[in-house]
């Protein structure tokens, strides 16, 4: 069911119906949280950290409410997300996973407009550095579902402010040197501390949030955007959207 709710959320983003998108993302998160992976409890240890997916949906829900000007609802989602992330620390058993859950909690502070953002991210940096000795391959860790889910909302906000292009790269989040695992992962928190609040404020001021980036094609003669006339396409969740402004494309 969470796939249906996520598709509904993307459709609402395309229609600029941000409260409806926030509601759909919340339903996706709650639905997926009960069973992050088929046959798996959210309270089971999991080296992949599939519980990150519902946390991502709850975070996106809060982002939609912020862009819609629903600050109280965004704050409620922020408090909820922090509580869920902290609870999941009792399930996931790797120290780098605990640090990533703390990263999620800091993100929820940003999205909820809550106090303590800088100190939260500074604590995450410290947690990653402490976890570094237990990580043999930080590049693999950073590609697990948990870590990818923690990176996706920031990327979604940033691309909406960059003409739909990828605006936060792998190197931005991790640097190029994985030999020091703690520093490699801690860069995520440092980058977010410096950039996430400002990017979100720009999105709020603009009153827009892009759809996620899916499969893309440039200069596709079959489609044209009725809003900005672009022919660059983003296929995401059964929707055919403009890569530039997330408007539903017209088949020519």
The pLDDT of residue 159:
96
| H or E element in which residue 207 lies | none
Would you state the structure tokens that stand for residue 202, as one six-digit string?
A: 């720009």
Whole-number pLDDT of residue 3: 84
pLDDT of residue 252: 82
| pLDDT under 70: residue ranges of the chain | 1
pLDDT at 1: 61
60 by Cβ neighbours in 10 Å (0-12 / 13-18 / 19+) ranks as: buried
pLDDT at 73: 98
């Amino acid at each position: 069911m969470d796939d249906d709710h996520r598709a509904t959320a993307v459709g609402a983003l395309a229609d600029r119906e941000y409260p409806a998108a926030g509601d759909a993302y919340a339903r996706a998160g709650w639905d997926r949280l009960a069973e992050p992976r088929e046959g798996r409890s959210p309270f089971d240890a999991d080296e992949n950290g599939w519980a990150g997916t519902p946390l991502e949906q709850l975070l996106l829900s809060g982002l939609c409410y912020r862009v819609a000007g629903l600050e109280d609802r965004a704050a409620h989602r922020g408090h909820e997300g922090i509580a869920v992330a902290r609870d999941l620390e009792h399930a996931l058993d790797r120290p780098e996973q605990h640090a990533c859950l703390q990263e999620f909690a800091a993100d929820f502070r940003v999205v909820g407009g809550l106090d303590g953002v800088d100190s939260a991210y500074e604590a995450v940096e410290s947690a990653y550095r402490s976890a570094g000795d237990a990580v043999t391959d930080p590049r693999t860790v950073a590609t697990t579902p948990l870590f990818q889910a923690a990176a996706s909302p920031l990327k979604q906000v940033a691309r909406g402010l960059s003409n739909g292009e990828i605006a936060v790269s792998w190197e931005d989040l991790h640097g190029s040197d994985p030999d020091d695992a703690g520093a490699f992962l801690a860069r995520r928190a440092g980058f977010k501390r410096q950039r996430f609040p400002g990017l979100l404020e720009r999105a709020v001021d603009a009153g827009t949030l892009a759809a996620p980036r899916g499969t893309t094609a440039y200069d596709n003669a079959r489609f044209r955007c009725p809003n900005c006339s672009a022919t660059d396409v983003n296929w995401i969740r059964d929707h055919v959207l403009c890569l530039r402004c997330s408007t539903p494309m017209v088949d020519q």
